[in-house]
Each structure stands twice: as C-alpha cells, then as structure tokens.
Amino acid sequence: MGSKDITAEVTTLESWDTVISPHAGWFDLHLRDLWRYRDLILLFVRRDFVAQYKQTILGPLWFIIQPLLATVVFTIVFGNIAGLSTDNLPKPLFYLSGQVIWGYFAGSLTATSGTFTANAAIFGKVYFPRLAVPISIVISQLFQFALKFAFLLCFMLYFISRGATVQPSMAVFLLPVLVAIMACLALGLGIIFSSMTTKYRDLRFLLTFGIQLLMYATTAIYPLSSLQGKYRLLILANPMTSIIETFRYAFFGRGTFNLLHLAYSAGFAVVVLFIGIIFFTKIERTFMDTV
Amino acid sequence: MSDVVIRVEDLSKRYRLGLIGRTALHEDLSRWWARLRGQPDPTMRLDQLQLLEANKARASELNDDAEHIWALRDLNFEVRQGEVLGIVGKNGAGKSTLLKILSRVTAPTLGSVKVKGRIASLLEVGTGFHPELTGRENTFLNGAILGMSKAEVTSKFDEIVAFAELEKFIDTPVKRYSSGMYVRLAFAVAAHLEPEILVVDEVLAVGDAAFQKKCLGKMKDVAEHGRTVLFVSHNLSAVSSLCPAAILLKNGAVIERGKTENVLETYLAQTSRPRSLLFHAEDSGKEDKLGDHLISLESFRLLGPSDRQTITNGDALRLVARVVVHSPGDFSMCIPVLRAGVVAFYANSYHERDAFSLSTSGTYEFEMTIPPYLLNPGEHEFGVYVSDDRGSGEHHIRVHTALSADIEDDGGRRGGVFHGRWPGAVSPTLNAEVRLLD
C-alpha cells in the first residue's frame, strides 16, 4: 500500500511531452510545432510546383494568358467604352498591373480556403500541423506571381521603348513588403473560410463569387485619384487598395503612395491572420468528425 | 526502467448521429426549424433515424443524450516503455477511434492521453504520395508528413530504397509503379520512422507474402530496440506473434488486459459463433420458414463419426432432417453448403424422386450424405430447404444456415511439404492418372 502511494507521487511529478485533451486554450497555437515541420512546408511547395508543371503542354503559359485576356477585355470595356481614367498610364499596363497583384491575392485565397476539404484524406490519417498546408499554398502561389510579374516588367519595358512616361521610384524596394502583406491577408482570410467550409460547404460559392466582386472594390480597374468623398474612403477601407496603389506608384510613378494607408493594410492583415490562426487551430482538432 | 510512456485517462469520444457527411447552411436551418416544431430531423437518413430511435430507449435508461453515441467511454490504460501492446476488438469496439485520438487526427470529448516521447502513427502507408513525383521526391515528402526531418530522411535514404528494392526506379514518377512497388516504397518509408512510440494500424496487410514477412520482421526489430509499439489489428496471428500483451476493447471500454494468448481467447470466445451440429425448430431466426400446412421441420442435424467429437474431411457427413408430413405429396430436399457466408454449392434430391414421394402423413427423416473428401477443411455451414417437387416449387421449409461445423484436416491427402490451407470451399478427390506415351 505504501509503495503504491509513492509511485503515484512520482508519476504526478513526471513531465509529459504531449497531452492530448479535449480542449486546447484559445492561444495554444502550436507554432513551435509548425517550426519543427518547416521541411514539410518546403516539400509541399515543391510538390505543388512539380505537379503543376509536369504534364501540361503550355505549362506556365497559362498563368500569363489569363491576366492577359482580362487586360484586353478591361482595356476595351473600361478603358475605351466606359472611358475610365488610368492615371495617364498606358491602359494595358494599368490593367495588367492590377491583374497581377489581384491575381496573387485571389489565387492564394481561393486555394487556402479549400485546405480542409481538399486534404481531408491526408488529415484523416496522420498528424502534422495543419497550418503547414495553407502556408505552403501561399508560398507556391509566389511562383505564379513571379512569372506574371516578370511578364509585367517586359510589358513595361515595351511601353517605355514606345515613349510612355513611366518612372519607377525607390519604393520598388517595398515589393517584398507588399507581397508579405498580401500573403498574410490571403492566408488569414483563406483559413477562416476553410474553417467555415468544413461545416458549411455552400460557403465556397459565396467565396468564388465574392472574390470577383471584391476586385471591383479595389483600384484594380480605376485609380484612387479618380475617387472623391465617401467612395474614396470606402475603397480605401479595402486593405488591397493601398497595395495596388503603392505598387503602381513604385513601378510606374503613378498612383497614391501613403504610408498610413499601407500601415492600415498591414495592421488589417496581421489581425485577420491572427484571428484566422486561432479559428483554424480550434477547428482542426475535430473537423475530421464532420467531414 | 518500466516507465509509463502512455497514460490514457477516462478517455471518451462522442459522435453526433447524422452529423457525418455534407452539411449546408440551409440544411442546418431546416434542421433547426424542424426541431422547433418537434419534428424529426429532415436531413437524416432513415437508418440513422431508426438508430436514433433505438438509442433513445437506451439513452433514457442511462440518462444520456440520444443524439450522440459514445465510441469510447471512460477508457483507461497505461503502456510502459518498450512494451509491444496489441489492441483487438470487434468492429465498432472503438479501435479506430482510439487510433485517431492517439494519432491526433481528432480530439477526444473527455479525458486525456499523456504521452512521453515522440509518437508517430501509421494509419496507412503512403499518405500524401503524389503520382507525378518520383520515388525519391515522394520518399522525402512522405517522410516529412510522418514527422521526419529532411536530414533524417537523407541519412536513411539508401536504406529505405534498398528495403523497398527499388534502386533502379527511384527516379521514376510513382504513377508508373506497379501497385506492389508503390506499397513497398510506402512501407519502406514508414518502416524507417524511428519514434519512441509507434502506433500501427493494420498496414501490415499489404503486398505479397514475402513482403509481409519482411514487414513483420521489421516490426519485431523495432520492438526489440526497446521502442514502444501499439499494434491494432484484426490479424490475430500477427498480433500473437508480435505482441506479448494485448488489450481487448468492447463497446468503447477495455474489458481485458493481459497476456496476448489469454486476451485472444476471450476475443475468440466473444466473436466465434457456437458450433452447432443440431438445429431445433425453436432455434429458428426470423428469416427462416419452418413449415406450412403440408410439411414442417422438427429438427435438423449433422451426424459425423460416432466414435469422436471432431469432424474431419475424411468423414462422411450425414445431414438428417426430421419432418412431420401433414399432407402427402411429392417433396424434394435441398442442402445449401456455405463457406464464409457464401454458398459453395446446393445439393438436391431430384434424382431420388420416388423415395421422396410420400403417400401417407407421419413423421419422417430426410437424409442426404456428403461424401468423404469433398469439403475443404475449415468452417462450413449447412442449411435445409424442402420444396414441392411437382407443384409450384415453393419452399415449404427454408433454413439457410442451420448448422455449422469446423471440419479438420485428417492429413490423409497430404503428401509433400505444403501444410497450409488450400483455398476454396471444396477439394474433391478427382480421378488422377498417368499414361506413358512412346
């Protein structure tokens, strides 16, 4: 009897490496775990990259055709028929820049929002920090972005050679910051959506449709300078607006560059990402029961 | 020394009935609306509703909620360092739920599992394999998914490839692999995982016999290196050869923990149906028809050799039905013989028409005999049908599985080295001869 009490005493003092319990704290986010699985994130990125490029004839060309066609349509409809301002930039350049930036955000958001449903088979069999998947998606999307961006630069050089007044500024060095803000924003929103779609599949329709509409609430189609009063504020409230404006300012010397606007976008992205991670870690614990 | 590395405390998992599957927002709204009006859930399938009704009765006894079922209920056990523990139980006993919780695929509803050391689980091999990637790329990807760092995989890479016997094809996309190659690579990666605690599902049941043997060998290796293994399986021979100790789950709780042989004995007693060589009218199930106004069944039995209990394939098996004939007529008897629930053959009495044409009522015995060396050794089931030979052909008596018997191999037809089981339900003695031709 006595010896039994002693063992009980000893075991209570033991430290456990993993405790699997029903409820995790709101801020128990396993971020250290995520760091331990960093190799996995890179391997996911590699997998997506290889899988996308193998066995497509046109391969990367598809990524360019899509924004190019959108640019042609926008140039005709908004530029020529509707006659919207393009901040004195060549119309195709204006629209293409909007498409390239928006494309990264929209692509990342769409892909991350399917995290749980698309990976249910793997998630049902093995544990790893689920966040590794959406993070890897946001990184893989960078390749597409880089390709489109390179294409945009070629476009730009062409217009410069044709005598267009395009003046890149020192703000080009802000590009990584812009991309980082977009990545956080898309990741945050994407994982919030993916958490909600585990329960309500029909939210996916809302998302695809919503992303399209949201584009019109940024300055992808029209410059901020053409807006006044409450519409200007409304459009500025969209965190993507200042990203597009800063981008145009940095590479073309047009658009509105305002550090406050940019700080707002960054703050917005961080808050969304934080809420997203909390939500996501909550859902990942039991979502296998409902899929 | 004998430290506890896994402690499962009051572990419970509750599932909500009807929740699994697609949900749409409008379904949730209609469910809520139906509940408000006190109607059954409109989104539930009928079988789920029936289950729910059945559960309600039980739930009111247990003072519990009928919409939920407990897959695990207050599970408690401990596993010590270096222990290799088998987990057995029938389907629905809670094995998979326990595995999912241990693998952190899902969280428990109540209770906790405390783990010391790195735990890795193998619920399947080849998780995350991508067909477009090469064997090499998939090895790294799969390794990372299972929790290995890149450096770990790199250091074991050659060993993994050698184990899978895929040296020549490691840079080929796995979509070009045969299914055997695919599984070998997948298992090879998994086998080189070196956590302190390994939780394994029935992944051993993959590949051909030689590869299975290799896998079992590898598992033994792992166990002998002092690592802790939890092995969940239906494959009782694998459990008994691998695990010195086992636990038996039933209805979400541990009902026995101890030496594997004792646990398996309890498990078998629980699962195998009692062998019966005699069927009485009272034993009938609801699908059986025991007779009508023309003829009815009193009993049906299997008569083997009179001098011993066991029945072997060398014995003639007499199947005897005692029937009461109420109204004379032309009858025929038919015996379905089943192996593993599947009909192996039907034998009928049409060739003895005259004998089964009865002109007076009374109690009769109908008998058919299965000759020696027709049935393959193993468990067989026997039924009995009696029908009208001349009229509609309707069954007057119909019992699909009335008797079961385990037929032993008497060794009489074993010659060479093979002592395993022959496949199939029958192994009749065929005419065999040799002719010398010039």
**pLDDT above 80 for B270:** no
Tokens of B325: 């004939």
pLDDT surpassing 60 at residue B19: no
Residue A193 predicted with pLDDT over 60:
yes
Residue of A nearest to B138 (CA): A47
User: Could you tell me the pLDDT band of residue A98, with boundaries at 50, 70 and 90?
Assistant: very high
B217: CB partners within 8 A, 6+ apart: none
Contact across the interface for B116 and A16, Cβ inside 8 Å: yes
In angstroms, the CA A168 to CA A21 distance is 55
Q: What is the model's pLDDT at position A268? A: 96
- Give, rounded to a whole angstrom, the gap between the first and last alpha carbons of chain A: 48
CB–CB of B114 and A16 under 8 A? yes
Residue B419: band (very low, low, confident or very high) from pLDDT cuts 50, 70, 90: low
Of A20, A200, A286, which is closest to B25 when you measure between CB atoms?
A: A200
A1, pLDDT greater than 90:
no
**Pairwise CB contact (< 8 Å): B22 & A288:** no
Whether the per-residue pLDDT at A251 is higher than 60: the answer is: yes
User: A139-186, pLDDT tens digit by residue?
Assistant: 999 988 999 999 999 989 999 898 878 888 888 899 999 999 999 999
Residue B99, burial from CB neighbour count under 10 angstroms (0-12, 13-18, 19+): buried
**Interchain contact, A122 vs B137, CB within 8 Å:** no
What is the per-residue pLDDT across B359-391, written as a single tens digit (0 to 9) for each?
899 999 999 999 998 998 888 889 999 998 776
Q: What's A202's DSSP letter?
A: T
Distance CA(B417)–CA(B314), nearest Å, equals: 20
Task: Out of B100, B104, B133, name the one closest to residue A47 (CB).
Answer: B133
Q: Which residue has the higher pLDDT, B177 or B218?
A: B177
Cross-chain residue pair B115–A127, CB shorter than 8 Å: no
**Percent of chain A residues past pLDDT 70, beyond the cut:** 91
A217-243: per-residue pLDDT in tens?
A: 998 888 888 888 888 889 999 999 999
Q: What distances in angstroms separate CA A221 from CA A79, A241, B234, one per listed residue?
A: 9, 11, 62
- The burial class, CB within 10 Å (0-12 / 13-18 / 19+), for B110 is middle
Q: Are residues B358 and B328 in contact, defined by beta-carbon separation less than 8 angstroms? A: yes
CA-based nearest residue to B22, from A193, A122, A201, A119: A201
Residue A261's pLDDT is 92
Q: Which residues of B touch A21 (CB under 8 A)?
A: 107-108, 111-113
Find the mean pLDDT for residues B187-202: 83
For domain B278-408, the CATH architecture is Distorted Sandwich (2.70)
Distance of alpha carbon B231 from alpha carbon B122, whole angstroms? 10
Give φ, ψ of A221 to 5 degrees: -105, -30
What pLDDT score was predicted for residue A53?
74
pLDDT at B65: 59
Q: Which residues of B touch A44 (CB under 8 A)?
A: 141
Q: Which two tokens stand for residue A193?
A: 């959506």
d(CA B356, CA B323): 12
Token look-up 């396993």 returns A30
Domain ranges of chain B: 4-10+70-270, 18-66, 278-408
Q: What's the whole-number mean pLDDT along residues B122-149? A: 88
A11 three-class SS:
helix
Which of residues A65 and A51 earns the better pLDDT score? A65
Question: pLDDT digit string (tens) for B323-340?
Answer: 999 988 889 999 999 887
Q: Which residues contact B329 (CB under 8 A, 6 or more apart)?
A: B294, B295, B357, B358, B388, B390, B391
CA distance B356 to chain A (A): 60
Q: What is the mean pLDDT of residues A50-66?
A: 76
- A135 or B90, higher pLDDT: A135
Q: What is the pLDDT of residue B210?
A: 67
Quick one: CA torsion of B210, B212, B214, B216, rounded to 10 degrees?
A: -150
Give the pLDDT of residue B7: 92
For chain B, say whether A205 makes contact (Cβ under 8 Å). Answer: no
Locus of tokens 């934080």: A274
Q: How far is B142 from chain A (nearest CA, A)?
A: 9
pLDDT recorded at residue B334: 92
User: Tokens 């069999």 appear where?
Assistant: A125
Answer for the pair B318, B303: CB distance below 8 angstroms, yes or no: yes
**The tokens of B94 are what?**
């809670």
Contacts with A281 from chain B: Cβ below 8 Å: none
Among A258, A215, A250, which Cα is nearest to A95's?
Answer: A215
The first and second tokens of residue A157, run together, are: 């050089």
B123 with B106: CB under 8 angstroms?
no
Residues of chain A neighbouring B26 (CB-CB closer than 8 A): 202
Q: Is the CB of residue A50 less than 8 Å from the CB of residue B132?
A: yes
Q: Is pLDDT at A4 greater than 50 in this prediction? A: no
In the beta sheet, which residues pair with residue B276? B404
| pLDDT on residue A187 | 96
Q: Å from B319 to nearest chain A CA?
A: 50
In chain A, residues with a C-beta closer than 8 Å to the C-beta of B70 are none
DSSP assignment of A218-265 equals: TTTSS-GGG--HHHHHHHHHSHHHHHHHHHHHHHHS-S---HHHHHHH
Please tell me whether residue A32 adopts helix, strand or coil conformation.
Answer: helix
Class of CATH domain B4-10+70-270: alpha beta
Closest Cα in chain A to B14: A289
H/E stretch holding A100 reads helix A91-112
* Contact call for residues B147 and B193 (beta carbons, < 8 A): yes
Provide the chain A residues 7-46 that lie in CB contact (below 8 A) with chain B.
11, 14-24, 36-37, 39-40, 43-44, 46
- What DSSP state is assigned to residue A19? E
Report chain B's terminal Cα–Cα distance, integer Å. Answer: 75
Q: What's the average model confidence in pLDDT over A43-48?
A: 91
Q: Residue A7: what pLDDT? A: 42
The answer on pLDDT for B233 being more than 60 is: yes
Interface A:B, Cβ pairs < 8 A = 131
Could A290 and B19 be called an inter-chain contact, meaning their C-beta atoms sit closer than 8 Å? yes
**Beta pairing, strands B362-370 & B357-358:** unpaired
What 3-state DSSP class applies to A101? helix
Domain ranges of chain A: 40-289
Chain A residue numbers with beta carbons less than 8 Å from the beta carbon of B193 are: none
Tell how strand B228-232 and strand B110-115 pair up.
unpaired
Report the 3 state secondary structure along chain B. CCCEEEEEEEEEEEEECCCCCCCCHHHHHHHHHHHHCCCCCCCCCHHHHHHHHHHHHHHHHHCCCCCEEEEEEEEEEEEECCCEEEEEECCCCCHHHHHHHHCCCCCCCEEEEEECCCEEEECCCCCCCCCCCEHHHHHHHHHHHCCCCHHHHHHHHHHHHHHHCCHHHCCCEHHHCCHHHHHHHHHHHHHCCCCCEEEECCCCCCCCHHHHHHHHHHHHHHHHCCCEEEEECCCHHHHHHHCCEEEEEECCEEEEEEEHHHHHHHHHHHHCCCCECEEEHHHCCCCCECECCCEEEEEEEEECCCCCCCEECCCCEEEEEEEEECCCEEEEEEEEEEECCEEEEEEECHHHCCCCEECCCEEEEEEEEECCCCECCEEEEEEEEEEECCCCCCEEEEEEEEEEEEEECCCCCCCCCCCCCCCCCECCCCCCCCCCCC
- The pLDDT assigned to B136 comes to 94
pLDDT digits (tens, 9 = 90+) for B96-121: 889 889 988 888 988 899 998 888 88
Q: pLDDT tens digit string along B26-78?
A: 666 776 777 667 666 665 666 666 666 665 555 554 445 556 778 888 899 99
Query: Could you give phi then psi for residue B330, rounded to 5 degrees?
Result: -105, 110
Which residues face B386 on adjacent strands?
B333, B397
Residue B155 CB partners (closer than 8 Å, separation 6+): none
Note whether A201 contacts B103, CB cutoff 8 Å.
Answer: no
> What per-residue confidence (pLDDT) applies to B390?
73
The phi, psi pair for B309, rounded to 5°, reads -80, -45
The pLDDT value given to residue A151: 93
Q: Which amino acid appears at position A119 of this protein?
A: N
Helix (H) or strand (E) holding A20: strand A18-20
